[in-house]
Structure 1
Amino acid sequence: MGMTAWRRAGVCLTAAAVVVGVAGCQDGAPAGAEGRQTRNEMTKVLQAAFENTSEAKSAKVRMTMTMAGSGSMELSGVQGWDPGVMDVTMKTSGVMADDPDVPEKVRMIMVDDVVYMDAGAEQAAEMDGKRWMRMDFAAMAEEAGDAELRKRMAGGLENLNQDPAQQIALLLESPSLKHVGPEEIDGVRTQHYEGTLSFEEMADADESFDLLSEAERQELLADAEKSGMKGYDTQVWVNEDDYPVKMVIGMRTPQGTINLTSDYSDYGARAEVETPPARDTFDFVEMLKELEGLGADSGAGLSA
């Protein structure tokens, strides 16, 4: 496989890893209006939004991820939860799109915790017609032989699968939950809510952290503190039918802020996502083994 294909595959992997691993918070929100709701009133609205979204199981989604110094990434398509599936098209801009080897658009499919990235026609030409890169992150962690990495990867996939209902459930756990006030989003009347969770509070509320032992959990919390990671903020805009139409999550780090804005519509939209045929896919782990084999052969030839 040519170097261009390897670089393109690397770009696809990086994008998928960023999407899988993202967690979030948003810097300050606009000032609220008069007539803010009480805690009981907020809980009633958000509980209804949680129940409606859980029952819908899917929606059309447009996500925009911005990363300090790296440009932005937009994903649009359909997302389903219970089970978690996605079929989206990803577009990049800014620094991320400056590399000539980065395709303008990439289709990404996720089914059964496995991500498929369309690496493009040029990739297919160098891979016997196979243009879809298959990335089983759990298998990749297993291959690495790192138990903690396996657990963290499972948690990352849980974040990717996480539906807006689960985000609302986390928001309800926030001791700083606040009703910002009424706002219009794309002509739709909504109520705006926001709240912050510290990393430790989020770990307590998010069931994916139950995969970690107490020692691993404490180590993760210590690592987060050392890295300068701040608390998580979530904002949600709920329409008059008690569905979230917009959510903003992100994470502030010493390296900059990662923001993920999600716009939802057409709750209950069909999310029958199909994986690409096996004949059109190549496995990323196997590709790495191939590369390692080529390197070993080259080294053996030099030593001889």
Structure 2
Amino acid sequence: MRTSTVRRAGTALAVTALMSAAACSGPGQGGGSRPDERAAGGAVDTASVTALQQVREKTGTARSARIEGTAEVGDSVALKQSGTIDWADGLTGSLTITYTGGTMGEALKRTGGDGSVRVRYLRDEYYAAMGDAFASELGGRSWIRYGLRDLAALGGAAGDVLKDQMHNSTPEQGVRALLASGDVEKVGREDVRGVSATHYSGTVDVAKLTARDSALNAEQLAAFKKQLAAAGVTTQTVDIWVDRDDLLVKKTERGRTAAGDFDTTVFYSDYGTEVSVEKPAASDTVDFRDVLKQQGGAAGAS
């Protein structure tokens, strides 16, 4: 296997594993919303706002759930994922991510695997295993460790925002995004995998997100908005479905970036499920920083 391919695959995995975690939670770090303040034009759907505040509280305190979903970003990524996550103290959980298409998925498949990756999220780090063929390029070790602090340092201020986003990832973030948007409506009742659910929809206008509506400080928010602007994101549509217990059962997000259109769907079930995540043995782990150093030193090798 080409050493450059190993490096590209490891980098692609870092990006898409973070994307996968973010897709579980919703966009940004929306803080306390001000539903009575809406952009000019149109009346606030106060009944929907009141209902969503209850959903945010119930979903946010549920602490854990089983998830299943898909994500696509232009020609770069197409994946599906399933597993369990816990957000009682930062994001922890175990997911199986299968890359079904896109250039990043192809980069991973060139390592000799089938496109499936096991990921374990812990509070300040996450681990990924890409199969035997990739492990053979890592001295027989199965897992790559990615430290969120290291990735934040590589990404500068925008990376710091990403680290904070990982620490605060919860399914309620999609609800918060709708509340912060000032543009939300109740669509009606629909069936979601056999569960009767209420459908809410709204549009998040990135240009109207302000520090007073965010848990980010001014510097982080500025970096986050700069990152969104660089990706070409201006607005995105968020849809959520809520069951009779005021718990989120489905969320979709759609929009456009410089890399192309994105479309994510996540289903939630089994709230309160036990989530046990073990750190892989040190003897079976290599740090991504070391992979970068090794592959950088072998950049001219084939």
Q: Is the Cα contact below 8 Å between 1:9 and 1:119 reproduced in 2? A: no
Q: Distance in 2 between matches of 1:80 and 1:115?
A: 14
Identity %: 26
Match of 2:51, SS state, is helix
Shift of 1:69: 2.4
Change beyond 3 A, Cα 1:67–1:227: closer
Asked whether 1:56 is paired with 2:62, we answer yes
Residue 157 of structure 1 pairs with residue 163 of structure 2: no
d(CA) in 1 for partners of 2:228, 2:17: 22
1:30 matched residue in structure 2: none
TM-score by length of 1: 0.79
> Which residue of structure 2 lines up, in the alignment, with residue 201 of structure 1?
208
Query: What do the CA deviations read for 1:29-61 (whole angstroms, capped 9, x no partner)?
Result: xxxxxxxxx833213322222222122100000
* Aligned partners of 1:5 and 1:122 also within 8 Å: no
1:82 and 1:200 mapped to 2: Cα distance?
A: 31
Please state how far the C-alpha of 1:177 moved relative to its aligned partner.
0.9
Give, in whole Å, the separation in 1 of the partners of 2:115 and 2:152. Answer: 29
Amino acid in structure 2 at the alignment position of 1:134? R
1:66 and 2:72 correspond: yes
> Structure 1 pair 234/203, CA: closer, same or farther in 2 (3 Å)?
farther
| Counterparts of 2:120 and 2:63, CA distance in 1 | 17
Equivalent positions of 1:130-149 (< 5 A) are 130-142=141-153, 144=154, 147-149=156-158
2:233 to 212, 229, 235: 229
Question: Do the aligned partners of residues 61 and 20 (structure 1) sit closer, same or farther apart at CA in structure 2, a change above 3 Å counting?
Answer: closer
**Which of 161, 170, 187 lines up with 2:194 in the alignment?**
187
Measure the CA separation in 2 of the matches of 1:51 and 1:131.
Answer: 39
Q: TM-score, normalised to structure 2's length? A: 0.79
Q: What is the CA-CA distance between 1:112 and the residue it aligns to? A: 1.2
Paired residue type of 2:185: K
In structure 2, list runs of 5 or more residues that go unmatched. 29-43
Q: What is aligned with 1:177?
A: 184
Q: Can you list the C-alpha shifts for 1:110-132, whole angstroms capped at 9, x where unaligned?
A: 10131211021123233333110
Give the drift of 1:78: 0.2
Match of 2:137 among 119, 126, 138: 126
Aligned in 2, Cα 1:52/1:218: closer, same or farther, shift over 3 Å?
Answer: closer
- Aligned-residue RMSD, C-alpha: 2.9
Q: Please say which of residues 15-24 and 78-87 is displaced more in the overlay.
A: 15-24
Shift in CA distance, 47/93, structure 1 to aligned 2, threshold 3 Å? same
Residue-pair matches, total:
277
